[in-house]
Every structure is written in structure tokens, then in C-alpha cells.
Amino acid sequence: MKKYKIAIVGASGFTGSELARLLARHPQAEIIAITSETHTGKLFSDLHPQFFGIIDLPLVSAESVTKAEVDVIFLALPHKISMEYVAKWKNHSAKIIDLSGDFRLSTPEVYKDWYQKEHTFPEGFENAVYGLPELFADLIKNASLVANPGCYPTASILALAPLFAEGIVEENSVIIDAKSGLTGAGIKASETTHFSNVNENFKAYGIGVHRHTIEIEEQLSILARSNCTLQFTPHLLPVDRGILVTAYAKLKNPVNQNSLNDIYQKFYKGKPFVRLRNSAPGIKDVRGSHFCDIFPTWDDRTQRVVIISAIDNLLKGAASQAVHNMNLMLGLEESTGLHQIPLRP
């Protein structure tokens, strides 16, 4: 069985460590390089003690990847930095999976509007494929650069995709109420993520201006073949990991629960990591797994669809989605290495 050589660029964060955890047990992956500019020379297991005796690779500079013979490069780097590495390695033979937001949007102009930064590698948008396998598997298979979706957009888009694909959503009626665990804010502590501000607290942020809004709107617009505008409000939960989305939409014509179920079952038929639930899921139902659990319901009183969607933000919202994309890009069975059962409690 062939082993593909893997480099993970950016080892210090949660996403980098989760990528390493998944790839270490992937039957066709061999991690040959893990990089960190601030921790070069240390062992990966020094940085993440859970890997002691499992992954003890020395951390190297990203520059060493330039001449390395690797098949796939994962960029687990912050927004506004990944683009520099994609530009640097544009002629590298390796396939690149970027977990930042630098190539998720439609144009560099839209990127500048929402990320407040001039994009330094605009030509990258020509080849980048949005890496949501349930929607774009065929495009991902032939891609050399995949923009791994954000965690909020993954849960939100999958919640609403069947309705937009059917073209039955009433214009400007969608409201997305989303909650994320603390790891969604990254590994570096801030005033917002300080324990005393998060513990026993619950708050909204980025109201009306969160940069994931446009990412969700663009992808749903592609599905509907018309422009989509929606209200997206994220909240910070005092938990480690997980995302729970509650999405509301008016439809052009009323439906009943059976027909709504049929729409979702038809759309997600053959999609192994979307589980259509019989009751509303919680974040512990998907914790530590690649599943997205979805529960669509028709509220006859308000004539509105309410959809609950739950994912692990570090996995389906980041690392395992990246591995799913890797499998497709390499021509492997898409679920290879992704059969983790959710952790509960």
C-alpha cells in the first residue's frame, strides 16, 4: 500500500495537532515534516505532550519544505499569512490544503472587504477549490489548491444546502444563530478568551460583521444560482470544542415534515459523514469525530424551517475535513482514516 508523504506547516495550534493525530493513524499517510518558526528544534511531542512516544519528530522551519519531496502540504497557519506560503510554493509538485481563510472567498476584492487586508497572491483564486466535500467532491479530486472551509460555514452551509439547492428559500429570510467552543478562537489567549471571561459566561460577538458571513452567503448563492443575503450571529460557549448551529428560513411554499425529510435525505444520500437525526443533536454527539449531525424540522405554526446542525469545530470544521479533502485529491476512498466514533461524555 502506497504511503503519501505529508508536511504540516504550523504545528503550534490546535489544528496542527489534530491534523497530526489523524494522519498518524492514516493507513496511507506518512508525516515527514512538521514546522514551527517559533519552536524550531523542539520535538513535536514537547509542544503537544499527548504525542509523547508517538510523534517525536523535531520541528523544522517551513523553509525546509521548499525542497522536500512531499505529496501534500497542509497549511495550518493564521489568516493573512497562508497566502505567502501558497505563493512561495505555487510551482511545488505537492498538493496544498490551506486551512486559513485566505482562498475561501470568490475574489481578492471580497477578501479585502472582509479581512481588511490586501491579498498578496490574487492569482491563487484562479485555482483554489472550496473544500466542502459534500458539495464539491468532483472539483476537489482534480484540485492542486484546496481552501478548507471555516468551522462556522461548514455547519451552517450543510444545514441549509438542501433547501438552497432546491431553490425554495424565501429571499432574505435566513437567520443563523451559531455557537462555538473556545478552541475556535485559536490557541493564543486573549482578553476575550481569558478563563475568567469565558467561564460561566455566554456572549455574542461579530454581530453583523463576522467574516464567515460572506463565506456562507457565497456558497449558498452558488447552490441557489442567485444572490443570498442572511443574518449570521456567532456566540462563544464556555466549552472546549464543538459548534451548534440553529438556522431559520422561510420557504417560498409551505412543506410538511415528510417532504422536508425527503429533501434532506435525497441531497445527502451517499454522503457518509452527514447524519440526519431524528432528534436535535448536541455537540457531544459529534465530539472527536468527522460527523455533521443535522436535524431539519418544519414548524407549522410559524411556517418556518428550523435546522439544527452540530460538528466538532476542530475536526469536521478543520482537521478531519482537510484529511477528507486529501483523500479525494489523492484518489483514495474518501473516508480513509476518518472512522473515529464520537467521544461521549
Cell, residue 284: 457531544
Which one-letter DSSP state was computed for residue 64? Answer: G
| Rg of the Cα atoms in the chain | 20
Positions marked catalytic: 151
Question: What's the start-to-end Cα distance of the chain, in Å?
Answer: 36
Burial 107-116 (b: 16+ CB within 10 A, else e): ebebbeebbe
Q: Are strands 95-98 and 243-249 parallel, antiparallel or unpaired?
A: unpaired
Cβ contacts of residue 75 below 8 Å, gap of 6+?
A: 9, 10, 82, 85, 86, 96, 97, 98, 99, 100
Whole-angstrom distance, CA of residue 206 vs CA of residue 215: 14
Q: Is 62 helix (H, G, I), strand (E, B) or coil?
A: helix
Burial 286-300 (b: 16+ CB within 10 A, else e): bbbbbbbbbbbebee
Which run of H or of E encompasses 9?
Answer: strand 4-9
Closest CA to 291 of 254, 335, 229: 335
Whole-angstrom distance, CA of residue 149 vs CA of residue 305: 24
